[in-house]
Amino acid sequence: MKIAGQTNKRIASPLIRLWRSLWVTLRHAWAKRETVSYPEIKRSLPGRWRGRIVLTRDPDGEERCVACYLCSAVCPVDCIHLQARQQDDGRRYPETFRIDFSRCIFCGFCEEACPTLAIQLTPDFEMCERSHDSLVYEKEQLLIDGQGKHAGYNFYRHAGIAIFGKAIGEGTHDTPPVDHDTNLP
């Protein structure tokens, strides 16, 4: 009896399993569709989505970018090109700022490297073009009038400012600022 039972089980269970997997897929014919019909229905993207890159301005309306070249240096595909220049008051700004989006991989390293939170990635990916040339964005196309993700932040109000009651380099753990002109080997 026992052997017969085992034999029945050995023959029956593959058939039951076969039917079960067929039944599961058939039931899904009435399930809700997961596909989103994209151009008609657009999903809302999360705020930290890494899409089209912009250059933002600080709350005073000045360019945040100080042309430090860190974004250009960190870019793994070398798609950022810029040229620094100084205003009369010594503040640096990019004379040209160019991103080749046909090479950009939207890794977000430039955003992480930026000390002034100027360069930011936005939740926008609809930037199809018919030629590579039109994917090269110049400064006019990159620079926006808003502050982007970090409203109210102004680099010059945080950096290079003396702490209350102490001048730069006088804190317990501070080292005095280095004079670049005397620091040559």
The encoded tokens of residue 185 equal 């080997």
* Closest separation in Å from C-beta 52 to another protein: 25
Are the CB atoms for 98 and 137 separated by under 8 Å?
yes
CB nearer another protein, residue 38 or residue 164: 38
Mapped onto helix, strand or coil, the DSSP state of residue 125 is coil
CA atoms within 13 A on the CB side of 92: 12
Question: Number of residues in contact with another protein, rule: CB under 8 A?
Answer: 14
Does 40 bind another protein (CB under 8 A)? Our answer is no
Q: Out of 25, 131, 172, 183, name the contact with another protein by CB under 8 A.
A: 25
Does 13 bind another protein (CB under 8 A)? Our answer is no
What CA–CA distance (Å, rounded) separates 73 from 102? Answer: 18
**Cα diameter, the chain:** 100
Q: Which of 69, 63, 115, 112 is nearest to 91 (CA)?
A: 63
Q: Out of 12, 16, 18, 45, name the contact with another protein by CB under 8 A.
A: 18
Is 79 assigned to a binding site?
no
Q: Out of 29, 128, 161, 178, name the contact with another protein by CB under 8 A.
A: 29
* Closest separation in Å from C-beta 31 to another protein: 5
Q: Out of 3, 37, 175, 184, name the contact with another protein by CB under 8 A.
A: 37
Is 68 assigned to a binding site?
yes
Does 28 bind another protein (CB under 8 A)? Our answer is yes
CA distances to 1, 25, 130 from 12, in Å: 16, 20, 59
Helix (H), strand (E) at residue 72: helix 70-74
Stretch that binds another protein, among 19-27, 71-79, 88-96, 167-175 (CB under 8 A): 19-27
Is 128 assigned to a binding site?
no
Amino acid at 157: R
Q: Which residues are annotated as a binding site?
A: 65, 68, 71, 75, 104, 107, 110, 114
